[in-house]
Amino acid sequence: MEQSSITQACQVIAQRTSGFQPRVGLILGSGLGLLAERIENAQRIPYGEIPGFPESRVTGHAGNFVLGFLSKVPVVAMQGRAHLYEGWSASKATFPLRCMHALGIDSVIVSNASGGINPRFHSGQVVLIDNHIDWMNRSGINAMEADIGAASQGLPHRVGNPYDAGLLCLAEQLAIKQGFSLARGTYLATLGPNYETRAEYRMFAKLGADMVGMSTVPEVLVANQLGLKVLAFSIVTNVASPDVQSVTNHAEVLDWSRKAQSQLVPLIENILAEYR
Ligand code: HPA
């Protein structure tokens, strides 16, 4: 993605928001778009009005860039994201994140909906992602890009611990204060758009995955390349039971992710309050 397109998009955003400078980015996945409604003094820009932005076409994803204050911290939120299964390239899907970085964020909080593979998980559970498996193989990091990070020096980009250890601990501590314990898990990302067969859920369990979904990994890789701190949550919307005949559907996924918001929305607000 060319630096000039990022600059162009940021100019439009700056004009619409009188040069607002966010500190934290939020990428809100299936059903969590409501967090964006809690942003105060919000300036909402539909993706279609920002040059270079991909528009999400999935039910449950609104498609707005929202800038304002959450827990008194200046934030920018993606209310809905573009998925690779909609046909977007990883570099296009991560373009809004690059713009968030150019606007000045130093951390990003990402959320998604996933299928639970770990049998200890239940539908509606919020899990902290502490590692991932890239089954998409489309990182969004383009080695030919001259604008950023190690890739500009012709070096392979290393991502050992993509999720910030300090933010993981902070989230766990604040969840306990809220009265629940957060499990950690490894998230495996597929290209989708289909949910898995029972044989695939079984295979992913053997590979070490606790959850499976269709997003997040391209954004987390790009965020690491940009030097951003990353915290990521997954809402388990259905638990795979490979040995039982059952079918996952999108309505069920949306329903459970809405229910999990009652824990996750205040948790993210409490985490942000620590940023002040
Ligand atoms: N598989 C992939 N993605 C998902 C699932 C699933 O079972 N549930 C919610 N997102």
Residue 240's CATH number = 3.40.50.1580
Total domains present in the chain: 1
The proportion of the chain whose per-residue pLDDT surpasses 70, expressed as a percent, equals 86
Distance (Å, whole) CA 134 – CA 118: 18
| Whether the predicted pLDDT of 154 surpasses 50 | no
CB 22 within 8 A of CB 13: no
For residue 205, with 0-12 CB atoms within 10 Å meaning exposed, 13-18 middle and 19 or more buried, which class applies? middle
Interval 40-97: pLDDT, tens: 999 999 999 999 999 766 665 678 999 999 999 999 999 988 899 989 999 899 999 9
Provide the residue range defining the domain that includes 71: 3-273
pLDDT of residue 273: 96
Strands 211-213 and 183-189 come out as parallel
pLDDT of residue 31: 65
pLDDT of residue 137: 84
pLDDT of residue 4: 85
CA of 71 to the centre of ligand 1 (A): 31
CB 38 within 8 A of CB 269: yes
- The answer to whether 157 is a known catalytic residue is no
Q: Residue 24 corresponds to which tokens in the numbers above?
A: 């934290």
Closest atom of ligand 1 to 213 CA is 3
CB 38 within 8 A of CB 70: yes
Distance (Å, whole) CA 63 – CA 30: 11
State the number of CA atoms in the 13 A half-sphere of 91 facing the CB: 10
| Whether the predicted pLDDT of 151 surpasses 70 | no
Give the residue from 123, 132, 180 showing the smallest Cα distance to 160.
132
59 Ramachandran zone, left/alpha/beta (phi>0; psi -120 to 50): beta
Provide the angle, in degrees to the nearest 10, between the axes of the packed helices 3-17 and 95-103.
Answer: 60
Mutation probe of ligand 1 site: the residue of 58, 83, 114 with most atoms within 8 A of C-beta: 114
Mutation probe of ligand 1 site: the residue of 253, 255, 256, 257 with most atoms within 8 A of C-beta: 253
Q: Determine if the pTM surpasses 0.85.
A: yes
